[in-house]
Amino acid sequence: MTSGDVTSGVELVVVAPDGATLEVLTLPHGADPEARLAAAGWYLVALLDAVRTDEVVQIRVQAERGQAVAALPEPAEQPSSGAGADGERPVPYQRVACYGVVIGDRRLLLTELSERVSGAAGSWNLPGGGLDPGEQPHDGLVREIWEETGHDVVRARLADVETRHWVGRSPGGRLEDFHAVRLIYRAQVAQVREPVVHDVGGSTARARWVSREEIPDYPIVPTVQRALTRIGWDRATGPTAVRP
């Protein structure tokens, strides 16, 4: 997982069945995509894909007209504090990252977060991470899965967009008003084999194929649980999840 760069913005592009663009909406810092669409009078039908144009990541969706809400709902997770010690102000930081739900031989590919990930070391996540400068989302997904597991992606489809918003310290110590925009893909790999972590010393300690029955024994992050629920590959019970 790379640290990822700061994009100049994220946009939601509503696309008609014939491919024509109906509306382009900016995703404000801290906002949820479905809430943003609803505020503009759109009801999300399907996610199509995500592309990068200059430094803007565009999430293309199909949507139907509905009744616009009066205002955007507050994000599910608000910054815990508006200032740090001695009046330190958090720096707004929007990070776009790509993650893959990779299932092979009825097992899920997971990665363990290393000591570099403050507050979540030892937890298990989907393989993925932040986009490099100028990188297309699909290319970032392919790169991250190879770096963290040694697997080659042969097919990927955008399945979900998850956002989180909080104030916290970066690995470098900077206080950040952090808005995570996570593009979740359903991905297939060329061959199921023993995972190998190529990005040694990064945010991934190890990778492993995990069966559905074994998942409750792993301290997974909320992104994993949400992704499995969205694609219907869910688990009935398990440990309390933690946030990366």
Give the pLDDT confidence score for residue 71 in this predicted structure. Answer: 55
Give the pLDDT confidence score for residue 8 in this predicted structure. Answer: 63
Domain count, the chain: 2
Is residue 35 domain-shared with residue 102, that is, in the same domain?
Answer: no
Is residue 149 domain-shared with residue 100, that is, in the same domain?
Answer: yes
Q: What is the pLDDT along the chain (244 residues), one digit of tens a residue?
A: 444 444 469 999 999 999 999 999 999 999 999 999 999 999 999 999 999 998 899 999 999 998 777 655 454 444 454 456 678 899 999 999 999 999 999 999 999 999 988 788 999 999 999 999 999 999 999 999 999 999 999 999 999 999 999 998 887 788 999 999 999 999 999 999 999 999 998 999 999 999 999 999 999 999 999 999 998 886 444 444 444 4
Is residue 120 domain-shared with residue 166, that is, in the same domain?
Answer: yes
Is residue 127 domain-shared with residue 223, that is, in the same domain?
Answer: yes
Is residue 25 domain-shared with residue 137, that is, in the same domain?
Answer: no
Is residue 34 domain-shared with residue 96, that is, in the same domain?
Answer: no
Is residue 125 domain-shared with residue 58, that is, in the same domain?
Answer: no
Is residue 97 domain-shared with residue 182, that is, in the same domain?
Answer: yes
Classify residue 3: in a domain, yes or no. no
Give the pLDDT confidence score for residue 1 in this predicted structure. Answer: 44
Classify residue 74: in a domain, yes or no. no
Instruction: Report DSSP letters for the chain, one per residue.
Output: -----B-SEEEEEEE-TTS-EEEEEE--TT--HHHHHHHTTEEEEEEEEEEEETTEEEEEEEEEE-PPPSSPPPPSS--S-S--GGGPPPEEEEEEEEEEEEEETTEEEEEEE-TTSTTTTT-EE-SEEEPPTT--HHHHHHHHHHHHH---EEEEEEEEEEEEEEEEE-TTS-EEEEEEEEEEEEEEES--------STTSSEEEEEEEETTTGGGS-B-HHHHHHHHHHT---S--PPP---
Is residue 121 domain-shared with residue 225, that is, in the same domain?
Answer: yes
Classify residue 96: in a domain, yes or no. yes
Q: What is the CATH number of the domain that holds 188?
A: 3.90.79.10
